């Protein structure tokens, strides 16, 4: 009788350990997928800043293309009408902003379920206040918002990275 009780306790302990291990394995897999998605989005944002396209256009290039919403990925700031409402929650939750007409595709790192995509928005020209005695007034500064989206190895692991580029 005592042996059966001890065997039952050991069996329950073993099942509990197996369930705990399975749960930890799933958490590690989810963390891996999230990390893959983040790395894909980060690489895409850096690629968008440094150079995209055949001739390596980028925000660091001497001549920038026009941001007149005719080239995919190069936009004036998105409006509430374009993203489907009065706030930008639709921009982040559905796939509208990541279609071929709106965004550009980045090279796909291995392990991702889909190619990362980016959008660069040309923001308002800002004229900083103040001046320099030697050089006069400070030149106007242009800002660009780079938003990159990537999926991990699983389609439900999504990461969005956004940077601000000053030129």
Q: pLDDT of 90-140, one tens digit each?
A: 454 445 556 666 788 888 888 898 889 888 888 877 777 777 788 887 777
CA distances from 137 to 59, 91, 166, 167 (A): 24, 38, 18, 17
pLDDT score at 106: 87
pTM exceeds 0.75 for this model: no
pLDDT score at 120: 87
Is-contact 88 162, C-beta < 8 A? Answer: no
**pLDDT averaged over every residue in the chain:** 80
Is-contact 102 72, C-beta < 8 A? Answer: yes
The HSE-up count of residue 96 (CA atoms within 13 Å, CB side) is: 15
Highest mean pLDDT among 2-11, 98-107, 147-156: 2-11
Is-contact 38 30, C-beta < 8 A? Answer: no
């Amino acid at each position: 009788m005592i042996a059966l009780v001890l065997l039952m306790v050991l069996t329950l302990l073993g099942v509990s350990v197996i369930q705990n291990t399975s749960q930890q394995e799933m958490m590690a897999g989810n963390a891996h997928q999230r990390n893959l998605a983040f790395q894909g989005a980060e690489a895409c944002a850096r690629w968008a800043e440094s150079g995209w396209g055949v001739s390596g256009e980028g925000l660091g290039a001497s001549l920038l293309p026009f941001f007149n919403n005719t080239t995919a990925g190069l936009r004036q700031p998105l409006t509430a009408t374009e993203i489907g409402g009065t706030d930008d929650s639709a921009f982040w939750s559905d796939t509208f902003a990541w279609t071929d007409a709106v965004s550009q595709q980045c090279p796909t790192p291995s392990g991702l379920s889909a190619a990362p995509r980016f959008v660069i928005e040309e923001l308002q020209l800002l004229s900083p206040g103040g001046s320099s005695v030697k050089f006069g007034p400070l030149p106007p500064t242009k800002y660009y918002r780079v938003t990159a989206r990537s999926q991990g190895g699983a389609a439900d692991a999504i990461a969005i990275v956004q940077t601000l580029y000053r030129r």
